Amino acid sequence: MRTYTETGPSGSVVTILRLSQAEAGSLPSQVYSARPRGRSGELNGVVVIVDSEAAPAVPGHEAVDEH
């Protein structure tokens, strides 16, 4: 699992969790309900991105742009 923070246009900070399929399957359903691969879901300011394989962290880059 990788965790990133990103500042939105309004100045709000969003936490991004980047998970593998296996990690997403282990989350409680009330936290995250599975969505198709490559799609993200948002719950209370936390964005969950599920990859077939979680990408490695890139040194010096905290923000992730999935759009």
60 has which bridge partners?
none
Whether the full predicted model's pTM is greater than 0.85, yes or no, is no
The DSSP secondary structure of 16-46, one letter per residue, reads: EEEEEHHHHHTS-TTT-----TT-EEEETTE
Residue 49 pLDDT > 70? no
pLDDT for 52 equals 54
Sign of CA dihedral 34, 39, 44, 45: positive
Decide if 57 contacts 2 (C-beta within 8 A).
yes
Q: Residue ranges per domain, the chain? A: 2-51
Q: Coil, helix or strand for 12?
A: coil
- Ramachandran category for residue 60: left, alpha or beta (phi over 0 → left; psi -120 to 50 → alpha): left
pLDDT for 35 equals 42
